[in-house]
Amino acid sequence: MPIDPLYPFRPSTKYEGVRPINIYLLRLLYILMFFVLGQMTWTHILTHKGPWDPTNAVAWCVWTAFATLAGLGILHPLKFLPIILLEIFYKVLWLVVVAYPLWSRGTLAASPAADITAQFLWVILPIVAMPWGYAFVTYVYNPKRGTRPQPQQHSIAAS
């Protein structure tokens, strides 16, 4: 059987029409989130001393849950796409709402937001990995979703 070098770039029935390269990249993202973010967030939560600031605690708990759920995304990359959509949305939103105004005024580099901006600019990776066509049809518009299968009509034979 010959090896097809273009296999990763062709839609695959194995992955509901998604290209295998997207599946590989999604799994890489889930692995990074699970191990890197998970290690950081679980360590912070488990070693925290003293009372929590409620707002800060919410952020750490959400990130920890996010990283933990990414572990399931490694096994089921398409079923856990909403995690990637959430990541893209909150990072792009933060970059637009917080980082861009600071950058446009020339004050980003000297602000506490500079480190977060540098980390959030990596949002390009999930944007590239996302199978956008699949996500659109699955979560936004699916013309087949509104139709229900018609019940079968059984004819009753006269007895």
Each residue of 118-137: pLDDT tens digit? 999 999 999 999 999 999 99
Average pLDDT, the chain: 89
For residue 124, give its domain range.
Answer: 11-133
Residue 155's identity, in one-letter code, is S
| pLDDT confidence of residue 147 | 54
**Tens of pLDDT along 71-123?**
999 999 999 999 999 999 999 999 999 999 999 999 999 899 999 999 999 99
Q: Using alpha carbons, select from 94, 123, 125 the residue that is nearest to residue 108.
A: 94
60: pLDDT strictly greater than 60: yes
Distance CA(107)–CA(100), nearest Å, equals 10
pLDDT by residue (tens digit) across 11-31?
777 778 899 999 999 999 999
**Residue 2 maps to a domain:** no
- Which helix or strand (DSSP H or E) is residue 21 part of? helix 20-32
For the chain, how many structural domains are there in total? 1
Residue 73 domain flag: yes
pLDDT at 8: 72
User: Does 125 fall in a domain?
Assistant: yes
Report the chain's C-alpha Rg in angstroms: 22
At 159 the pLDDT is 47
**Do the beta carbons of residue 91 and residue 116 sit within 8 Å?**
no
Q: Report if residue 107 sits inside a domain.
A: yes
In the chain, the amino acid numbered 108 is L
- Residue 67 above 50 pLDDT? yes
- 149, part of any domain: no
DSSP class of residue 122? G
Q: For residue 117, is it within any domain?
A: yes
pLDDT computed for residue 129 by the predictor: 95
In a domain, 154, yes or no: no
What mean pLDDT is predicted for residues 142-146?
Answer: 68
Domain annotation covers residue 155: no
